[in-house]
């Protein structure tokens, strides 16, 4: 087992919407501005928050999820980051102890001290009671410190600081200011690349946090990894010589770095393109990840060159792997919440409609050719697809979700955002296409 040391903090909160992303981004930008190399991770299968962390830190941000990725992959990511970073920050999910694979579970697994972001509006000494409760609820996690969010004044901040019990560090505050609030929409925060002046916002948040306390790097944590474990990929170069076009823009942005890395490790050549502006590049196969096609419906349906090139690609029996929003783009129509209907590629027979309420959420898995492929769903649309599913992905958690997996010619489509590294052979077969009909799927 190889070991490396690196300062690290796990940023958590009593609940969602406490300001974790803002504080993590501010801390990452603060230390980056001090000349430090910061690596940021996000707990759970989140696509949106990591983009803020990437812009704040200037480094790629990866997900960490014990249920979807497994301990070995999480351990490898942390070990590799620790080898050349000056600081590792991990943003938690929901509240500190919420869920079957909670933030506290992940922090305890890797012995990383936690820092809680506590919203302090309309609160004084109770702030200290919340901090005390978070620190003592479980013995296997360490609450290093707290950050106060939505603070009314300097005097308010002093009251909060004085309430903190001994043994818990005060790590500053951010003021109650609408200018610091990040805009959101139905799938989470508005995407980082859509926010004007984001760099200026990050610098402001970093300065405010840094001015509120004496910022010092946290203690170093030992990260271990065994390079020759059973999770080492054993099917290299299955996609050697294969060119894969990857949709990547504001409409199709929900992509795991790990998925692209796996395709490249399998030997594929990737070509990123924008369905909003481009035609489909010359390629052997197509990857359509999720995103917000419903917000860009007019632009997409007016890209007639793209539609024609995708239709020709499918007619030529070339493979397509489509996830969630990527699947919606392949349907005949998509109707948004304003009741406007967009005509899309029409290579999957069916229609979809956006809804006001969440229609599917959770970590799911499906058995394909004796491999267990895992992924995640989170969508606000319903669809009527005129095909019989070839498989059903089943929830591994408490939400009880299930999602159909469709095959139509060389197209594989589902609401599930797949985590490719969970079943590399299956994924390779999908992008090769020739073995699709031979899959034993259950």
Helix (H) or strand (E) holding 59: none
CB 161 within 8 A of CB 355: no
CB 251 within 8 A of CB 276: yes
6 a catalytic residue: no
Of residues 248, 283, 324, 377, which has the active-site annotation?
A: 324
**What angle do helix axes 424-432 and 257-265 make, rounded to 10 degrees?**
70
133 Cβ partners below 8 Å, 6+ apart? none
Rounded Cα–Cα distance for residues 386 and 155 (Å): 63
Q: Which residues of 407-416 are buried (b: 16+ CB within 10 A; e: fewer)?
A: bbbbbbbbbb
CB 134 within 8 A of CB 116: yes
HSE (side-chain half, CA atoms, 13 Å) at 282: 0
Structure tokens at 413: 């489509």
CB 368 within 8 A of CB 385: no
Q: Which residue has the tokens 């399998």?
A: 266
CA distances from 131 to 13, 23, 97, 140 (A): 10, 17, 13, 16
Tell me which residue of 303, 322, 317 sits closest to 245, measured CA to CA. 322
- The residues that are catalytic are 324
């Amino acid at each position: 087992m190889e070991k490396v040391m690196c300062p690290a903090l796990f940023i958590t909160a009593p609940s969602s919407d406490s300001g974790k992303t803002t504080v993590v981004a501010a801390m990452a930008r603060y230390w980056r501005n001090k000349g430090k190399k910061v690596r940021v991770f996000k707990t759970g299968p989140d696509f949106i928050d990591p983009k803020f962390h990437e812009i704040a830190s200037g480094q790629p941000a990866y997900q960490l999820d014990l249920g979807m990725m497994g301990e070995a992959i999480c351990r490898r990511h942390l070990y590799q980051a620790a080898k050349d970073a000056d600081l590792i920050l991990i943003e938690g999910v929901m509240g500190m102890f919420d869920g079957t694979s909670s933030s506290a579970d992940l922090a305890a697994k890797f012995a990383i001290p936690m820092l809680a972001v506590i919203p302090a509006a309309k609160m004084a000494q109770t702030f200290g009671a919340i901090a005390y409760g978070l620190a003592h609820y479980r013995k296997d996690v360490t609450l290093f410190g707290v950050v106060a969010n939505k603070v009314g004044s300097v005097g308010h901040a002093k009251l909060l600081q004085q309430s903190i019990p001994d043994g818990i560090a005060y790590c500053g505050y951010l003021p109650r200011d609408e200018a610091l609030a990040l805009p959101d929409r139905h799938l989470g925060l508005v995407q980082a690349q859509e926010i004007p002046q984001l760099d200026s916002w990050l610098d402001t948040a970093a300065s405010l946090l840094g001015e509120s306390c004496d910022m010092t790097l946290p203690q170093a944590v030992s990260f271990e990894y065994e390079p020759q474990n059973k999770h080492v990929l054993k099917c290299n170069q299955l996609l050697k010589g294969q060119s894969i076009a990857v949709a990547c823009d504001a409409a199709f942005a929900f992509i795991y770095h790990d998925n692209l890395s796996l395709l490249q490790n399998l030997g594929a050549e990737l070509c990123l393109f924008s369905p909003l502006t481009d035609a489909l590049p010359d390629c052997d196969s197509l990857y359509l990840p999720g995103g917000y096609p419903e917000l860009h419906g007019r632009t997409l349906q007016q890209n007639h060159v793209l539609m024609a090139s995708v239709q020709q690609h499918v007619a030529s029996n070339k493979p397509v792997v489509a996830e969630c929003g990527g699947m919606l783009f392949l349907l005949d129509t998509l109707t948004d919440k304003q009741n406007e209907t967009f005509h899309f590629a029409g290579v999957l027979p069916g229609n979809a409609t956006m809804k006001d309420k969440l229609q599917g959420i959770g970590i799911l898995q499906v058995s394909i050719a004796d491999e267990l492929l895992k992924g995640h769903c989170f969508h606000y649309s319903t669809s009527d697809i005129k095909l019989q599913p070839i498989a059903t992905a089943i929830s591994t958690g408490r939400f009880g979700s299930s999602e159909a997996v469709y095959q139509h010619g060389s197209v594989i489509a589902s609401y599930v955002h797949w985590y490719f590294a969970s079943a590399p052979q299956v994924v390779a077969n999908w992008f090769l296409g020739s073995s699709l009909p031979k899959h034993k799927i259950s």
